[in-house]
Structure 1
Amino acid sequence: MSPVTIPAEAQQAARSVRPTAIEAHMRYLADDKLKGRKPGTEGYELAAQYVEKQFKTLGFKPLGQRGTFRQLVPLRKAQVREDASTLALIQEGKEQLFTYGKNFILSPNFGQPVSDVSAPIVFVGFGVSAPELGYDDYAGIDVRGKVVACFNGAPAIFPSNQRAYTGSAKQEVAASRGAVGMITFSLPTDVQARIESNAPRNRQATYRWTNAQGKAQRTFPQLKVVALLGDSTARSLFGKAAKTFEEARVAANQSKPQAFPMNLVVRAHTETDLNDGLVGENIVGVLPGIDPTLKDEYVVYVSHLDHLGVGRPVKGDSIFNGAHDNASGVAINLEAARLFASLPQKPRRSIVFVAVTGEEMGLLGSDYFASNPTVPKAKIVANLCLDMPFFFHPLLDIVPYGSEHSSMKGAVEAAATFVGVKIAKDPIPEQAVFMRSDHFSFVRQGIPAIYIKSGSTTGDDRDGTKLNLAWRATIYHTPQDDMNQPFDWNAAGRHVQLQFLIGYLTAQANGRPVWNKADFFGTKFGPAATAKID
């Protein structure tokens, strides 16, 4: 394959990037007066108006609903009523009732306010079914009408992206096999997933978007109980099982599929408070393409506009400004939009920019747009996402998440060469970054996507990965993610150049991006998978 060339007019546009404009966008979006940009608040509305104004100034056309820049995202809030919800194990006629928050935590049922189940438990290893990866915990066992129990995570032998995806798809797999509930617990070494570590977060309200029929999406109401158990409580499940907890742990660590009855029954009662009062909004603008045919195809840029709002004070500050997360991504995409608008001749395909809502609630705004786009879904050829790109040091190398899965790798390499950055491997595969931002909503719809973050090289004696991990441990999702951080604005400008050039080259190409042959995500979500469903 011949290397991709960048036309002179695109090179000139890329060189006109303005780091000061990125800073200005961020300073407005992360200002205290926006109070953390939580969906449904005045602060989010101010942020939305700001993005709309930028689109209008640049000459982008409205691509929301009813001739506006807005796409409404209906959301359902669900909160478990802990005082009314119970879980007990029944073994040899004896019932053991557990304590909420100490022994177990329940997930809300988005389909009904009251959910009851009494059923036998079957252990299914990691709860993963991936025959294409040579692994299936469900092989040879019938779980219809039963509650499945499994470890959190996925087999270590899987590549990191596949491991992250299969680890997140357990409920869908269990429901498709006819299970009526799911119980999960962590391996002893997986301290981060333990109930003790996650109880505050897992006991908060959760949200899903609803379709035109009022059904909450990405939910499985047929699972009458979804529970997370503490470590000692999980071990008690194995008292009469064919294997001990330790034997099951060893098999899991060796990535060996396993399944067996646990010879006990779980009885659970879940009460859920449901509320459909919140409506989020995506902000959508388009720069129409000029090719008579290709202008009806779209390259979609996405970055999340929302953050966490106002919360419990930390170091005397209660406003979660979200400067890096993700005023930075919105600001960089806005400057990339300006580069597109500055071209003497617009791209062949149309360029769409979306500032999405509800990312912090679970990628809700991007999933809504990717599932219900304001252009024909089949005409979206590619997605570029930006979320916390990490520009606290010079940008000398990048990790282009997603490039190994599709033909977009060529555009990424050409852009990286022009900008003068090297392409590095993922230094933190355990963080499952490929699953953790809005590009994955497009992957789910079979659309190739790219999500770029900075690499580890800093040009001095600092280690970029250590800086990144330290930031995640001390600043991420705290009020200290504000504008009083040592941002490198030239590095941010290089991110703009990369975003612009990758999208430009994709918009100019004769053919649309394609998934690599036999790629895991292309096979699962791409055109062939869609054809099977239809």
Structure 2
Amino acid sequence: MSAAYLSISDQDLATHVKEIASDKYMGRLPTGPGEQLMLDYLTTNFKKYGFQPGNGDSFLQPVDLVEIVASEDQVLTLGNKKYQFRKDMVMGTSRTSELEKLKNSELVFVGYGINAPEYNWNDYANVDMKGKTAVILVNDPGFESGDDSKFQGKTMTYYGRWTYKYEEASRQGAAGAIIIHETAPASYGWSVVENSWTGPQYGLWKDDGNKSRVAVEGWIQRNVAVELFNQAGLDFETYKKQAMKKPTAVNLSGLKASVVVNSKVKKSTSYNFIATLPGAKRPDEHIIYTAHWDHIGFDDTKKGDKIYNGAHDNATGIAGLLELGQAFSILKNRPDRSITVLAVTAEEQGLLGSKFYAENPIIPLNKSVANINMDSLNILGKVKEVAVQGLGKSELDNYLTVAAAKQNRTLIKGKNPSAGYYYRSDHFNFAKVGVPALYAGNGETPVDEKTAKYSKKMKLVVRGCYHQPCDEYRRNWDLTGAQQDVQLFFDIGYSLSTNEDWPKWSKTSEFQRSK
């Protein structure tokens, strides 16, 4: 194993990242001009590594998407005030419809918009939301209060995610759902909303036109929410603090919302890439490595650099997949279990490629031993720890502990658990269907002073580049930390592929395997 382990190099990672994040891939938008280049690059390399097509005789799994592009001439009326697209708000629809609207829809503040019986919490209790629009705080009640008795305190649960907020408002029969953006609880600034929720938006194609979703969903800036509450004769901060303490629903004094969302709708097909190195003894049992190949494309309305190259997010993860494939291919003895790599599409649009795969698995779930996911690998050099999102959720942590010890590293909780990172990448869809899933990497303490100085400088260079055109490959990146992490993931996969263990979820985890 040592030769394969050592074959994973920072130079090779850099070569792949430089290629995948180059301008010719045009930001790797699903169904965009860079998709075929991306799929060809993966196919060429994994064929070279001796991997076989993972979906019958094909390396591809078609994912039927609907592309919805909302017109930017929207005006949102809240009470007697009008708000502008991008500057104040972003509205859209998940329905496959060219016209959706709110017309004098009564506004109801529903706190965090959560219905969670296990936490004895229901912001919608005794509220008839039919025809009304929910105004919702982002994150969980415990985030800003710091009250550990509320959900999981500052650690975000899935109830804090924007995806859940829209889903629950839809289940409640609402006509619209508007999330109030605040940078700290969202864990990103308004520019991320402006860039990520405008232009082409994708969903999985549904024959019913996705009519179960609210007609209109979107975001407003915090100052818009403050003005809305003022119109209602209420104080935003007062009701926000109340919502942290107990389930809250308040009619906003009969104020109403109106907006017209005209959209261009197009059905399209993108692809997950799947390749397998068959196991020698139990080829029907698979260790599945994932990373998303997509990013958010390009924006012709921008001045200057128009391409969102997505070098860190997530050309690094795809480079990790490629290095893992190369490493497993040079083993003298083929592992007992199969090694499968899955590069998924449309992660940036709500984990859609992995969601489709989890709902339509090529490998039976009860033959999927574990999932190891890579998203935005370490670009800051070697570190002394391994940060684990969702530390303690499964026995995969035990494998990671052993692998990390070989590198003289220890496990720590992932930074900023309030951001809910365990629920924000593709492993989450495996977890939801019971497959133990690991999401780890990076760390906090540089291994030496030289690395510390580099790390401090590079953090300043890339600060603010998340989902921005400046997320580009830089030749002075130190990818030895990424190399460390990919070697860890190889070690874990190799161990699982040469034994008969089936890792389990911890008893305290919200996920369990059903087999």
Normalising by structure 2, we get a TM-score of 0.85
Structure 1 contact 104–195 (Cα < 8 Å) conserved: no
Q: Does 1:492 align with 2:482?
A: yes
Residue 136 of structure 2 corresponds to which residue in structure 1? Answer: 150
Q: CA deviation at 1:355?
A: 1.8
Aligned length: 502
Residue aligning to 1:473 = 463
SS at match of 1:387: coil
Alignment match, 1:207: 202
- In structure 2, the partner of 1:70 is 60
- Per-residue CA shift, 1:391-417, capped at 9, x if unaligned? 321233211223421111111111111
2:178 is matched with: 183
| Corresponding residue of 2:99 | 114
Are residues 1:409 and 2:400 paired? no
> C-alpha displacement at 1:301, in angstroms?
0.7
CA positional deviation for 1:163: 3.4
Any conservation in 2 of the 1:124–1:138 contact (CA below 8 Å)?
yes
TM superposition shift of 1:205: 3.0
- In structure 2, distance between residues paired with 1:199 and 1:28: 28
One-letter code aligned to 1:133: Y
Alpha-carbon contact 2:185-2:418 (below 8 Å) kept: no
2:37 corresponds to which letter in structure 1? L
Structure 2 residue matching 1:424: 3-state secondary structure:
strand
Q: Which residue of 2 aligns with 1:501?
A: 491
1:474, 1:188 → 2: CA distance? 13
Take 1:472 and 1:134, find their aligned partners in 2: how far apart are those partners?
A: 42
1:247 to 234, 238, 243: 238
The aligned residue for residue 6 of structure 1 is: none
Cα offsets for 1:21-54 (capped at 9, x unmatched):
3233233323444343333344332222121112
**Segment drifting more, 346-355 vs 131-140:** 131-140
CA distance in 1, matches of 2:136, 2:106: 14
Mapped contact 1:188–1:231 kept (Cα < 8 A): no
Contact 2:390 2:413 in 1 (8 A): no
Q: Is the 8 A contact 2:286 2:367 kept in 1?
A: yes
Contact kept in structure 2, 1:297 and 1:379, CA below 8 Å: yes
Of 335-344 and 220-229, more deviation after overlay is shown by: 220-229
Q: Partners in 2 of 1:273 and 1:23 — Cα distance?
A: 40
Task: State whether structure 2 residue 246 is matched by structure 1 residue 259.
Answer: no
Report the Cα distance in structure 2 between the residues aligned to 1:85 and 1:48, rounded to whole angstroms. 39
Q: Structure 2: which amino acid aligns with 1:455?
A: G
Within the alignment, does 1:225 sit opposite 2:213 as a pair?
Answer: no
Query: Residue 36 of structure 1 aligns with which residue?
Result: 27
Query: 1: distance between equivalents of 2:191 and 2:351?
Result: 25
Determine the structure 1 residue equivalent to 2:37: 46
Q: What secondary structure is seen at the aligned counterpart in 2 of 1:13? A: helix
Deviates more, 1:327-336 or 1:138-147: 138-147
How far off is 1:467 after superposition?
Answer: 6.2
Following superposition, the deviation at residue 503 of structure 1 comes to: 1.7
Distance 1:75 1:83 in 2: 25
The one-letter amino acid paired with 1:25 is H
Where 2:254 maps in the other structure, the secondary structure is: strand
1:513 is matched with which residue: 503, 506, 512? 503
What one-letter code is carried by the residue in structure 2 that aligns with 1:512?
A: W
Q: Compute the displacement of 1:428 (Å).
A: 2.8
**CA distance in 1: counterparts of 2:183 and 2:7, whole angstroms:** 52
Q: 1:290 to 1:469 in 2, by over 3 A?
A: same
- CA 1:29/1:234 → structure 2, altered by over 3 Å: closer, same or farther? closer
Assess, with a 3 A threshold, how the Cα gap between structure 1 residues 510 and 133 changes in structure 2: closer, same or farther.
farther
Task: State whether residues 279 and 337 of structure 2, in contact with CA within 8 Å, keep that contact through their aligned partners in structure 1.
Answer: yes
Which residues of 2 match residues 359-370 of structure 1 at below 5 A? 359-370=347-358
Could you give the per-residue CA deviations for residues 35-91 of structure 1, whole angstroms, max 9, x where no partner exists?
A: 433333443322221211121112111013x611112222211122344665453xx
CA distance in structure 2 between the aligned counterparts of 1:516 and 1:192, rounded to whole angstroms: 27
* Contact 1:74 1:276 (C-alpha < 8 Å) held by counterparts: no
Report the Cα distance in structure 2 between the residues aligned to 1:279 and 1:203, rounded to whole angstroms.
20
Alignment equivalent of 1:322, drawn from 294, 310, 323: 310
> How far apart, in 2, do the equivalents of 1:197 and 1:18 lie?
32
Is contact 2:296-2:308 (8 Å) kept?
A: yes
Question: Cα offset for 1:497?
Answer: 1.2
Distance 1:189 1:457, change over 3 A: closer
Q: For each residue in 1:175-215, what CA deviation from the matched residue of structure 2 results, as whole angstroms up to 9, or x when unmatched?
A: 2233332233246976977868844543333111225x475
How much has 1:358 moved relative to structure 2? 2.1
User: Residue 143 of structure 1: CA displacement?
Assistant: 3.4
> Which residue is equivalent to 1:444?
432
Taking a change above 3 Å as real, the CA distance of residues 225 and 30 of structure 1, as seen in their structure-2 partners, is: closer
1:128 and 2:118 aligned: no
Determine the structure 2 residue equivalent to 1:343.
331
Instruction: Provide the TM-score with structure 1 as the length reference.
Output: 0.83
Over 3 Å counting, the alpha-carbon distance change for 1:448 and 1:467 in structure 2 is farther
2:273 aligned residue: 283
Mapping 1:16-35, distance limit 5 Å: 16-35=7-26
Q: Distance in 2 between matches of 1:315 and 1:136?
A: 45
Matched, 1:98 2:82: yes
User: Which residue does the alignment assign to 1:380?
Assistant: 368
Give the Cα separation in 2 of the matches to 1:88 and 1:236.
Answer: 9
**Cα distance change of structure 1 residues 344 and 197 upon mapping to structure 2, 3 Å threshold:** closer
Q: For residues 69-123 of structure 1, give each alpha carbon's deviation from its aligned partner in whole angstroms, at most 9, with x where no partner exists.
A: 112222211122344665453xxxxxx2523325543222424333344443332
Change (3 A) 1:56 1:136: same
Cα distance change on mapping 1:195 and 1:384 into 2, 3 Å: closer
| Aligned equivalents of 1:119, 1:339: Cα separation in 2 | 57
Measured at CA, do residues 193 and 503 of structure 1 come closer, stay the same or move farther in structure 2, by a change above 3 Å?
closer
CA distance in 2, matches of 1:436, 1:245: 28
Percent identity for Structure 1 against Structure 2: 29
1:80 corresponds to 2:70: yes
Verify the 8 A CA contact 2:4 2:330 in the aligned structure 1.
yes
Counterpart residue number, 1:5: none
Amino acid at match of 1:426: G
- 3-state SS, counterpart of residue 389 of structure 1: coil
TM-superposed deviation, 1:227: 4.1
Distance of 1:433 and 1:469 partners within structure 2 = 19
Q: Is the aligned partner of 1:371 residue 2:382?
A: no
In 2, are the aligned partners of 1:458 and 1:464 still within 8 Å (CA)? no
- Indicate if the aligned counterparts of 1:389 and 1:452 stay in contact, CA closer than 8 A: no
Cα RMSD between the aligned structures?
3.3
CA distance in 1 between partners of 2:369 and 2:24 (Å): 37
Could you tell me which residue of structure 2 aligns to residue 7 of structure 1?
A: none
Q: Distance in 2 between matches of 1:115 and 1:276?
A: 16
Would you say the 8 A contact 2:133–2:178 is kept in 1? yes
Cα deviation code 1:301-357 (max 9, x no counterpart):
111222344446999654443333222211222121222222233223221101222
Task: Name the SS of the counterpart of 2:406 in structure 1.
Answer: helix
Equivalent of 1:299 in 278, 281, 287: 287
The 8 Å contact of residues 108 and 272 in structure 1, kept in 2 or not, is answered as no
Q: Which runs of 5+ in 1 are unaligned?
A: 1-9, 90-95
